[in-house]
Amino acid sequence: MLQVELKDGSKVEVQKGASVLEIAKSLSEGLARNATCALVDGEVVDLRFTVEKDCKLEILTFDNSLEGKKAYWHTSSHIMAQAIKRLYPNVKLTIGPSINNGFYYDFDTDSTFSEEDFEKIEAEMKKIIKEDLEIKRFTLPRKEAIAFMKEKDEPYKVELIEELPEGEEISFYEQGDFVDLCAGPHLMSTGKVKIVKLLSSSGAYWRGNEKNKMLQRIYAISFPKQSQLDEYLAMLEEAKKRDHKKLGKELDLFMIAPEGPGFPFFLPKGMILRNVLEDFWRKVHRENGYEEIKTPMILNEELWHRSGHWDHYKDNMYTTKIDENDYALKPMNCPGGMLVYKRKMHSYRDLPIRSGELGLVHRHEKSGELNGLFRVRCFTQDDAHIFCLPEQIESEIVRLMKLINYVYGIFGFDYHVELSTRPEDSMGSDEQWELATNALRHALESQNMPYEVNEGDGAFYGPKIDFHLKDCIGRTWQCGTIQLDFQMPERFDLTYIGQDGEKHRPVMLHRVIFGSIERFIGIITEHYAGAFPTWLAPVQVEILPIADSHVEYAKQVQEQLEKLGIRTELDDRQEKIGYKIREAQLQKVPYMLVLGEKEIEAKTVGVRSREDGDIGAMSLQEFVEKVQKEVESFGK
C-alpha cells in the first residue's frame, strides 16, 4: 500500500498502480465526476495517471483551479479539431492549446472560416460530445511517431516531432476516428464537455513567424453549464464597451500612429493620468524606504552578455552600433541596477538597499501580437531592486507583499497569487533554485497567502511570485511580480562586507507592482470603463457657462479651482447647456459646474455629479472641500 497526502494534509492509503480517477472515486463520487486532472507532487497529470510511490495529490476540477479549466479546454480544442477534420478533410492540423480564457486551434486551409462555418462546426462538436468517445493515451517511439503522422498526412505534426530529442517517447491522444499529437492532460471522454461556443477567427503565422505560412485560428470557449457560458458572453459584451483602445480615443488619452506600431503616444489628458499614477508611485515608495534611480536606455553588448540576456533574450532586443561598437536598447532595467549597486563598496549595515526606477524599456514584439497598451514595443516598468542579506529575504518578501496589497487595494482590485518555478531555459544550480523557490514558498505560507504553482514559468534567473489582478467584470491580469535572484549578483560580482570583515554575496529581489505603466493604464481604463475616480481623473471638474455672458464668472471659478490644484476644463463653446452636459458625461468627468445668472448673483455653483446627477447649488468653498476630501481619501 502507498501513502497519498491530500491537499488538506490528510493521508489515505491506496493500492500501488491505482489511477488518480480511482483514488478520486474512493474519496467522493461527486469529486470523481467533476475531476478534470490532478497535481501529483506538483506536476499536472491525467486522471489516467497511476500512482507508483508515496506522493502528494490534489484533485482538480473546472471550478477549483485554472489547470482544471485548462484540461477541460484542451479536450475541447481536440473536439473542435476532430469536428473540422470531419467537415473539411483536407485541412491540416497544427497546434491547439488551452489558454487562460478558453482555447484555440490553428489550421492550414486556403479558405477563411465564416459564421456559417462556425454553425456547422459547433453542430459537429455537439455530435462528438453526444457520442461520448473514450479518450485514450498512447505513446510511440520518435521514428514510429514520425511515420504515423506522415501516414495521416499531417506535415506540421511531423515537423514538431522531428524537433524532439532522439529516443524520446511521443504521446498521442485518440478519440474515435481522431488522433492528435499531444502531451495532455485530457478528460476521460468527449462527453465530459457540455457546452461549447466558437467565438472568433483570425490569421496566425505558423509558430508566430511572419516568414511562415498564414494559418486560420479559431478561438472558442466551453463550460460545464449553460449559465456559465451566458455569464461569459455577457462579460465579453461588457468588455467591448470597456475596450481601452476605444475609450483611449474617445477620451483623448493616447494614440498609436502607423508611423510607430507598438510605440504609444500619450496625449495631454493621458499624460495627466500617467503623471498622477507616477506621483502616487513615488509617494508610496518614499514612504517605504526606496531611493529612486534612473539608468540609461542604451548599454553595450558586453553588459547584456554578462547579465545573461544576450543568451536568453536577444531575439526580443533592439541593437545598434555606436563608435563601431555593438549596443542594445535595454529590454529590462536590472543590469543598470547592478551597475548602480556596484559603484561602491557596501557594508552589511547598509542592507537592505531598496532602489526603484520608472525605466523605459524596449522589446521587439511581433506585429500580430501588438494590442493597444496591453502589448507594445516600448513601455515603462516600475522596477525596484532590493539587495539584502540572506536572513532578510523572507522579511523583505513579506514587506513587498504588503506594499503590493496596499497599492492594488487603492484601485479596488482583488488578486490571486501564483508561484512560478524553474523554466527549462535557466541559469544556476539545482541547489540555488531549490533554495530560492523554498524561500518564496515559505514567505507565502507564513502570511497564509493562498497560491497556485505555475510550473516552469519562472524567469531564467530565478523563481517568482506573480500577482494576477481581478477587475470589476471578472477578468484577470498578471501585473505585479516578485523575483528572487541568486544569479545576477554572481554574474556581476556584487559583494558587501559582512560582520566578519569578509566579502559576501548579497541576495537580489526584482519586483514590479504596476508591471508596465502603459499596460496598467489600459487595465484601469477598462476596469473603470473610463470613469476614473476623482483623484485619478485627468479632468476633475468641467465648467459649463450657460451663455456667453456667464463666461467671465466661469473663468474666475476656473482660476480659483486651478490655484487649489483641482484639474478643470472650461467649455465656453456657443452650444446649448444640455449639449455641453451630455458632452461632459461622455467624457466621464466626475463633476460639472453649471453657471448662469442665478449662480453669479448668489456667488454659488450649480453642481452635477457623474454618479449622482444634479446635486444643486453650493458655495465654491463647499464644493472645493467636497472635491478635496474625496481626493484625499483615496489612499486611506
Enter the DSSP assignment of 459: B
Q: How many CB atoms lie within 10 A of CB 283?
A: 11
- Of 70, 285, 354, 363, which is the active-site residue? 363
Enter the DSSP assignment of 40: E
- 110 grid coordinates: 486556403
ω before 352 within 30° of 0 (cis)? Answer: yes
The H or E element that residue 579 is part of is helix 577-586
- Of 70, 385, 475, 567, which is the active-site residue? 385
Terminal Cα-to-Cα distance of the chain (whole angstroms): 56
Q: Cα 402 to chain center, whole Å?
A: 20
Question: Cell 470523481 sits at which residue?
Answer: 32
C-beta of residue 373 within 8 angstroms of C-beta of residue 248 = yes
Q: Find, among 143, 133, 149, the residue nearest to 168 by Cα.
A: 143
- Looking from the CA of 479 toward its CB, the CA atoms found within 13 Å total 29
Quick check: is 142 catalytic? no
Burial (0-12, 13-18, 19+ Cβ within 10 Å), 176: middle
Quick check: is 55 catalytic? no
C-beta of residue 380 within 8 angstroms of C-beta of residue 518 = yes
Q: Find, among 382, 356, 343, the residue nearest to 292 by Cα.
A: 356
- Of 334, 378, 388, 479, which is the active-site residue? 334
What beta strand segments (E) does 363-439 contain? 378-388, 414-420
Q: Is 93 helix (H, G, I), strand (E, B) or coil?
A: strand
C-beta of residue 548 within 8 angstroms of C-beta of residue 521 = no
CA distance 435 to 191: 44
Query: How long is the chain?
Result: 636
The H or E element that residue 59 is part of is strand 55-61
CA distance 262 to 485: 30
497's CB contacts (< 8 A; 6+ apart) are 345, 346, 347, 348, 503, 504
- The pairing of strands 414-420 and 2-6 is unpaired
Phi and psi (nearest 5°) for 406? -65, -50
Question: Cell 511517431 sits at which residue?
Answer: 145
Quick check: is 385 catalytic? yes
Q: Is 275 helix (H, G, I), strand (E, B) or coil?
A: helix
Q: Is 518 helix (H, G, I), strand (E, B) or coil?
A: helix
Paired strand residues for 221:
197
CA distance 111 to 214: 11
Q: How many CB atoms lie within 10 A of CB 226?
A: 10
CA distance 532 to 541: 12
Give residue 603's region: left, alpha or beta (phi > 0; psi -120 to 50): left
Q: Find, among 412, 358, 625, the residue nearest to 531 by Cα.
A: 412
- Of 46, 117, 180, 383, which is the active-site residue? 383
The widest CA-to-CA distance across the chain, in whole angstroms, is 92
- Of 82, 216, 381, 540, which is the active-site residue? 381
- Of 510, 567, 580, 608, which is the active-site residue? 510
Quick check: is 279 catalytic? no
- The pairing of strands 92-93 and 55-61 is unpaired
- Of 464, 468, 519, 567, which is the active-site residue? 464
Enter the DSSP assignment of 367: G
Quick check: is 621 catalytic? no
Give me the active site residues, please: 334, 363, 381, 383, 385, 464, 510
